[in-house]
Amino acid sequence: MDYRVLLYYCYTPLADPDAFREEHHRLCLRLNLLGRIIVAAEGLNGTVSGRTADCEEYMRAVKADPRFAALEFKVEPVAAHTFQKLHVRVKPEIVHSSLHHVRPHEKTGQHLSPQEFKALKDRDDVVVVDVRSDYEYNVGRFKNAVTLDIENFRDFPDRVKRLEEFKDKKILTYCTGGVKCEKASAFLLEQGFENVYQLHGGIIKYGLEEGGEDFDGKCYVFDSRVAVDVNRVNPTVISQCYSCGTPSDRLINCANPHCNAHVALCEACGETLAGACSTTCQEHPDKRPYDGTGLYPKQSNHYNPEQALLSYKAPARPQ
């Protein structure tokens, strides 16, 4: 496979995010990369795909900047681009949360390598905490992990009180690639939790380095693959078909665009309901044609990344 997917983040101060965004966008265009990149005053967060040689040059260019010396890339081989567009955007945070005051580059939970995480996760004095959203952990999570019933990471601070009973234990947080854990673990320290750790590199790195052992189901990812296998040791399926309840990790978007629910739907129910999550949605007059995948990426035939660069307008600064 001559393509790669790169998943990465780095919390580091950027004095001029707008200028960095334009420079970084040009780099991605030159290397024919596609994906989603977020730039903020607090750092950089992205997932991109491209040919192997282009990805290698991109990694060299990013690491050559002293501000990103600590950045680590999670690299996975793929058959083709996993994105249809390139978006490089400036936002207030590199991961949307309600923790604007938290500065992970100054203080955060102790990083655990995948090997260290594996050695600790089953101990009696440890609790493993999934800081991701419900649609992510419903398709895959570590055995016995505590989930917090959140629809969006910005809800995390309101759920921390549910962990009070574990204050005397070691808290091991994890997420897809590590970026959410940086803020989650820092906030837990702020709230008085003393022994807070995070899986460095997240589920993806754990899968690459430790075979994904004891991660049940699949890992939700934010590209066209939707969910990927990470467990090569003792894999299992934990999600159920939204319609019939049989085990299924086949994620779709409901064919009714007004619903667009992101759920697991087995192939049989997918055919029966023509890609809809229910008979009501199946009968909706605006239902989209079902091609067997249940995925409806936005068409990008007229997308021009160069024009996107030229038409970019920096967000208005607060007065």
CA geometry: angle 253, 255, 259, nearest 5 deg: 75
How many helices and strands (H and E) does the chain possess? 10, 15
Q: What is the DSSP string of 49-114?
A: EEEHHHHHHHHHHHHTSGGGTT---EEEEESS-S-S-EEEEE-S-SS--S-TT--TTTS-PEEE-H
Active-site option among 55, 175, 219, 241: 175
Pairing of strands 34-40, 86-90: parallel
Pairing of strands 170-174, 196-199: parallel
Phi, psi of 39 (to 5 degrees): -115, 135
- Classified as helix, coil or strand, 172 is strand
175 classed as catalytic:
yes
- Classified as helix, coil or strand, 205 is helix
Check: CB of residue 157 under 8 Å from CB of residue 187: yes
Distance CA 26, CA 38 (A): 14
Residue 180, CA distances (Å) to 76, 105, 146, 234 in order: 20, 13, 16, 26
Phi, psi of 201 (to 5 degrees): 90, -5
E strands, the chain, are 3-11, 34-40, 43-51, 74-78, 86-90, 110-112, 126-130, 140-142, 170-174, 196-199, 215-217, 219-220, 227-228, 251-253, 262-264
The residues annotated with a catalytic role in the active site are 175
